A = this chain, B = another copy of it.
């Protein structure tokens, strides 16, 4: 009630004071097809003003926008690249998601809010938004492998419509440019978090909510073994075979393999163990469905 009153007041205030020309009705801007996704390793990125069309937000002075899309490998100087904007944008996004969720879920306790925020601001979530809206095409960089990594990521997310929860590797640079662009808009619009949310709230859809959020597989496996009083071990064979094994009460229950990051092999091992749990151990997993439990 009180929360609703606050939201109404806020809404009214935004609508009165926003001098921003955002036509939300037109906000349907996606890259043509995933096959066409590519990044340039040279100067021939498409013109940056197209980003303004994607954002429905105009920078009269393009300086901040240019910075937001410039990786240090491109300009050779940290003072001209996006890192500092990314740092600020990260904090802005964190606040925006916290604020939204505080009012949307008045009975959700901080532990659950924290998980819900984490999956909405992590590298995978932001990289997905970058690819979905084609923002990666404007990143100016000289990282020879990045184009390929983006291609791989784009294929990988097709398997996980919402979020993989740690099972795929998101190119950090894609998440970075979403954060740096948030930072750029925040500074350019004179620090209005309302304007930033108007610009990026839609861009980050679908926002993961208490119904769609999933536990991280490693957390879920730990909790499951604790509840059922089972001994859980992760066996790190990453150096030898790019793999991590899971033993529960000394029984082999799952394996994860991933070459370029041990953490992902670890997460995949947990996921595999969860899938094999009932079959291998003969123990029901009936309690593992609860995503976020509301209070009361």
Contacts and interface: CB of A to CB of B under 8 A. Distances in A.
Interface of A: 2, 6, 9-10, 13, 61, 63, 78-79, 83-84, 86-88, 90-92, 94-95, 98-99, 102, 107, 109-110, 113-114, 187, 190-191, 193-194, 295
Contacts of A191: 10, 99, 193-194
A2 B66 CA distance: 14
A129 to B, nearest CB: 20
Nearest to A103: B187
A116 to B, nearest CB: 11
Given A79-B107, A84-B113, 17 more contacts: A6-B190, A10-B190, A10-B191, A78-B109, A78-B295, A79-B295, A83-B109, A83-B110, A84-B109, A86-B110, A87-B98, A87-B113, A87-B114, A88-B102, A92-B95, A191-B193, A191-B194
B99 A91 contact: yes
A9 B79 contact: no
How many copies of this kind of chain does the complex include? 2
Given A84-B113, A91-B95, A95-B92, A193 B193 contact: yes
